[in-house]
Chains A and B, each alone.
Chain A
Amino acid sequence: MSSANAWLLDIGDGRQVAIGQRELIQIMDAQDSFEVPLAPAHMREVIFWQKRAVPVMQLPLRLGGRACAGSILALVAFHDAVSNSAGLGAIHLAAPPIRVLVDDNQASSLEEAAWVDMAISCFEQQGKSIPVLDLSRLFAAIH
C-alpha cells in the first residue's frame, strides 16, 4: 500500500481540498493583490511575485458559493502545458494549510459533479470527501 504527503487547504465556505506536497510553494498575505476588470469572477485578483504575474483563485466562487474572506494565499506551482514550463497560481485560504499523509485506502470518488473539471482524484479524510486539485487545468484554462 502506497502513501503520499499532501496539503489540506481550507478554501472557505466549509470546503476543503488537497494538493500535492511539492505543489505548495509558499504561504502569503492576500492584501497585496489587485483586481483586474473583466477577468472571470473566481479569478479577478492578481499578485506580483518574483517578477511573475500570478492569478489568484477564489475556488468557492467557481463552485457557486461565497468568496473566501481569509487573508491567506497559498502560492502553488503547476505544469503549464501551453508553454511547457512551470506555472504559478494562488488560492485564497480561510486557514493555514495542514499537512496530511494519505494512503490508497482513502481513495474515493468525487461527490460533486462540479469538481470533475477541477480535480484529478479524491480521498476520504475524517469522514469528509477531499478533492485533489488539478492545478494545471485550474490555472492554465482560458475561459
Chain B
Amino acid sequence: MGAMMPGMKTEVRNRLLLRIDKLQLMLPQGDVCAVESVADLNSENALAPSVGRITYLGQSWPVLSLNGELQTLDNIPAARRACVMLATGKGFLGLLCDDVRVLNQQSGSDYALPAAMRTANTPIQAIMPFENSLACLSDARHLLRYGAFAQVTSGHLEKEYV
C-alpha cells in the first residue's frame, strides 16, 4: 500500500442500506444504478417471478418483490416505497424495498458470515451489527445468482425479461 501524500484522502466507498421488512440489506453504492418510486411500477401482465416492470433509461425492466427472509413474493406489500435498479450486465433489474439510505462505510465493521451459517444459495456474504440490529451485506454479483434474480436474468426467460 502506498504512503499517503499531503492532500490525499482515503477513499471511502459508501454503501446503501435497503430495508425490506425487518431485513437491513447493505449493498455497495456502485451496485445500485438508480432508485425509482414504486408508484412508477406497472404491474399489468407481470411475468412471475417479477411483480411488474419499471421504466429506466427509456426501457422497461422487471421488478422483484421479496420479504425480509429474501423469499420471492407475488405481491407488493404496502411498505414497499422504493425500487433500486441493479445492473445485470445485459440490462437492469428492479428490487423493491421499504426505504434506502446512503451510509458511510466507516459506520461499522463487517464480519464474514460464519461458515456454519452459509447455505449454498445465500447471497449474504457478511454481517454487521448496525443500529441495535443486524445488517446483512451482499452485492449485485451475489444477488443476481440468487433465486428469483437468477431466474429472471438467465436462460430463456432473459429474452422476455431484459
Residues in chain A within 8 A of chain B (CB atoms):
34-40, 43-44, 46, 48, 51-55, 57, 82, 89, 138-143
Grouping DSSP codes into helix (H, G, I), strand (E, B) and loop, the B interface class, with mixed when no group exceeds half, is: loop
Complex alpha-carbon distance, A141 and B92, angstroms: 36
In this complex, what residue of A is CB-closest to B22? Answer: A35
Please report whether the interface of chain A is mostly helix, strand, loop or mixed according to DSSP.
mixed
Q: Which of B52-60, B99-107, B121-129, B149-157 contacts A (4 or more CB under 8 A)?
A: B121-129
What CA separation (Å) do A35 and B21 show in the bound complex?
13
| Interface residue from A39, A51, A82 paired with B119 (Cβ < 8 Å) | A39
The contact of B116 among A34, A38, A51, A140, by CB within 8 Å, is A140
Residue B95, interface by CB 8 Å: no
B127 A46 Cβ-Cβ under 8 A: yes
A-B contact pairs, 28 of them (CB 8 A): A34-B129, A35-B134, A36-B124, A36-B127, A36-B134, A36-B136, A37-B68, A37-B124, A38-B69, A38-B119, A38-B123, A38-B124, A39-B118, A39-B119, A44-B117, A48-B129, A51-B109, A53-B127, A54-B114, A57-B116, A89-B116, A138-B116, A139-B114, A140-B115, A142-B115, A142-B118, A143-B116, A143-B120
B interface, CB within 8 angstroms of A: 23, 68-70, 109, 111-124, 127, 129, 133-134, 136
**Which of B112, B113, B124, B134 has the most A CB atoms < 10 Å from its CB?**
B134
Contacting residues, chain B, for A51 (C-beta < 8 A):
109
Say whether A53 contacts B69, CB under 8 Å. Answer: no
Docked-complex contact A53 and B116, CB < 8 angstroms = no
